[in-house]
Amino acid sequence: MEERGSPDGDLARSLEQGPEGPETPIQVVLRVRPMSAAELRRGQQSVLHCSGTRTLQVSPPGGGPEVAFRFGAVLDAARTQEDVFRACGVRRLGELALRGFSCTVFTFGQTGSGKTYTLTGPPPQGEGVPVPPSLAGIMQRTFAWLLERVQHLGAPVTLRASYLEIYNEQVRDLLSLGSPRPLPVRWNKTRGFYVEQLRVVEFGSLEALMELLQTGLSRRRSSAHTLNQASSRSHALLTLYISRQTAQQMPSVDPGEPPVGGKLCFVDLAGSEKVAATGSRGELMLEANSINRSLLALGHCISLLLDPQRKQSHIPFRDSKLTKLLADSLGGRGVTLMVACVSPSAQCLPETLSTLRYASRAQRVTTRPQAPKSPVAKQPQRLETEMLQLQEENRRLQFQLDQMDCKASGLSGARVAWTQRNLYEMLQEFMLENERLRKEKSQLQDSRDLARNEQRILAQQVHALERRLLSACYRHQRGPDLTPPCPCLMAPAPPCHALPPLYSCPCCHICPLCRVPLAHWACLPRERHLPQVLDPEASGGRSPSARPPPWAPPCSPGSAECPRERSHSDWTQTRVLAEMLTEEEVVPSAPPLPVRPPKTSPGLRGGAGVPNLAQRLEALRDQIGSSLRRGRSQPPCSEGARSPGQVLPPR
Ligand code: ADP
Ligand code: MG
């Protein structure tokens, strides 16, 4: 179980979310080498003190303010090589490399600070003399751990290694079969920066790998100067290629190309140095300048990588061979571990502070770890790319469709609004018209009720006038030889047939008013019943038989037999006549109805019985006129002459 807060634990947590996980910061651990015998001899003091496992305090000589730096782990001089190996987190990187990630471990610091020692232990004591196991550095220990780990994987793993150095801005193959010669650094889309024609050696055992390491170390340029008797004069990169498939199963895309899979790269940087401090001259000064220039380019790239707007910024990885080959480790898809090395000596304080600041800033550089895709996985990758393109096209089309919908909805919205407005106006019009029709209907109903009432009153008046007319006629014609009058007239009070029949049927003897059968004698002879009343002259030359009775149903308005339409004069005459008969003033209950066109429904303007009543009134008027004329020519025997207004007795 990893220690909480250790680089291994932090890195594991940051990568638990998968290859496409969040940005992962560069892990930085600090190693403080012990004071060398020479430094102690010169009486130099240590200005570095560890506080806990992650904090380093710097105590400047002379009592200046202390400065503290915090890293993933701080390993002081007392820590052994094994402690450094276990605490720095390199095993986690080995695990990630086995899973296909590209991982890098590099040391950084002033020359003579222990970078090479931390990675590979002390310099060999002689040709072919191996480093004692207890002093072996991170690289040897990792090799041993990795090979043991591979043996327990239970799956075939192919291990290859390359080893190069960058010396005076030239890449040299430390594993080349012949003498090292400069190799070009190329770039392509799939591999990024790579060294062309670099020899990649497959190995199958720890011993073989150690031999490759020793070969490279022995060929690497180193020189002695004031600060380091075995100072590395080049940046060295040893890379392990880890493939969990055999070459037969997964051939490389290009011949000579390293197999695709995980990588674990160890970078031993040449230390920055002050030429004045190291006393370099000639070739050494040229090497120092080249080293410093490449380290300066590295520092510049890290500074830009710390810029929040770095995605819009250009990172000058091409400024040096070192930054080219570290581009993927610093700003790409790799996982990176930096081991910053410092000397505790007060004499090295300026460079130590510079290294500490540099390392602190590097902690904020992040990468996006991503496992490289194998050729077998390229088909799904193409499909995934195609799917992403289709999804993008789908989004674009959906966007266009939404825009069209918006426009269409805008148009239809206008139409809907227009339709709703029109419908509302139509509804208002319908409501107004409905209200108007309702009022008109109410008026028509009132008018109809008024007409019916008028009809009823007129019928009563006509009825009364008929009775009085017949009574007057009977009294006027009464004589000893006359047959008894109709019981309708003689009877005292029955409501209907108390009136004498005005015009009885000659064969059935039925009272025409109430339809009651009468005695035979009760019926007046046809010629004597109303011969005077129905005067042919007064009736327009028509015989009584030819003339329809007053109560007969009215003929159709267009018929030749139809009497003329009522007029205002008719009403006036009728009223005068009624007043003459009743000797009272007759006030019409309704004004005379206007003359309506034939198509107008009579039911709404007075009912069907009104014309009939008018005819009956007209007939009564004729009869009364005839009676008055007869009365003037033949005065009654029992009564004196009287005025026409006194013909009829008062009620
Ligand atoms: P650099 O590579 O940074 O220039 P080196 O690794 O070559 O420095 O170390 C310089 C000297 O210091 C070497 O002689 C090395 O043996 C010694 N040294 C460095 N680190 C340690 C250490 N942790 N313990 C003992 N000796 C060390
Ligand atoms: Mg070195």
pLDDT in tens, 614-639: 677 777 777 777 766 765 565 444 44
79 and 227 together in one domain: yes
Tell me whether residue 192 is in a domain: yes
Rounded CA gap, 274 and 570, in Å? Answer: 144
Which residues are near ligand 1 (CB < 6 Å)?
A: 33-34, 36, 109, 111-117, 122, 228, 230-232, 271, 341
396 and 430 together in one domain: no
Confidence band (pLDDT; 50, 70, 90) for 325? very high
385 a known binding residue?
Answer: no
User: What is the arithmetic mean of pLDDT over 470-498?
Assistant: 54
339 and 448 together in one domain: no
DSSP state of 76: -
109 a known binding residue?
Answer: yes
CA 210–ligand 1 middle distance (angstroms): 20
Q: Is the pLDDT of residue 147 over 80?
A: yes
State the pLDDT at residue 532.
Answer: 40
The two tokens of residue 388 are: 């992403």
Tell me whether residue 596 is in a domain: no
Q: Is the pLDDT of residue 374 over 70?
A: no
Rounded CA gap, 313 and 479, in Å? Answer: 145
296 and 221 together in one domain: yes
Reported pTM: 0.57
324 and 441 together in one domain: no
Tell me whether residue 112 is in a domain: yes
State the pLDDT at residue 21.
Answer: 55
368/128: higher pLDDT? 368
315 and 386 together in one domain: no
479 a known binding residue?
Answer: no
Tell me whether residue 599 is in a domain: no
Range of the domain at 251: 24-367
Q: Which ligand is nearest to the CA of 84?
A: 1
Protein residue with its CA nearest to atom 23 in ligand 1: 33
383 and 425 together in one domain: no
CA 116–ligand 1 middle distance (angstroms): 7
379 burial type by CB count under 10 A (0-12 exposed, 13-18 middle, 19+ buried): exposed
CA 127–ligand 1 middle distance (angstroms): 19
94 and 127 together in one domain: yes
Angle between helices 321-331 and 283-305 (to 10 degrees): 30
Where residue 112 sits, what CATH number does that domain have?
3.40.850.10
Q: How many separate domains does the chain show?
A: 3
CA 110–ligand 1 middle distance (angstroms): 11
146 and 283 together in one domain: yes
Rounded CA gap, 163 and 173, in Å? Answer: 6
CA 540–ligand 1 middle distance (angstroms): 159
6 a known binding residue?
Answer: no
State the pLDDT at residue 321.
Answer: 92
Protein residue with its CA nearest to atom 12 in ligand 1: 114
State the pLDDT at residue 5.
Answer: 46
Tell me whether residue 297 is in a domain: yes
385 and 273 together in one domain: no
Pocket of ligand 1, candidates 31, 32, 33, 83: which has the most ligand atoms within 8 Å of its Cβ, to mutate?
33
143 and 240 together in one domain: yes
State the pLDDT at residue 93.
Answer: 94
Tell me whether residue 279 is in a domain: yes
Half-sphere exposure of 551 (CA within 13 A, CB side): 13
389 and 291 together in one domain: no
116 a known binding residue?
Answer: yes
Beta strand residue intervals within 299-446, DSSP E: 335-342, 366-367
pLDDT in tens, 424-472: 677 777 778 778 888 888 888 888 899 898 888 888 888 888 888 888 7
12 burial type by CB count under 10 A (0-12 exposed, 13-18 middle, 19+ buried): middle
* Cβ atoms of 287 and 167 closer than 8 Å: yes
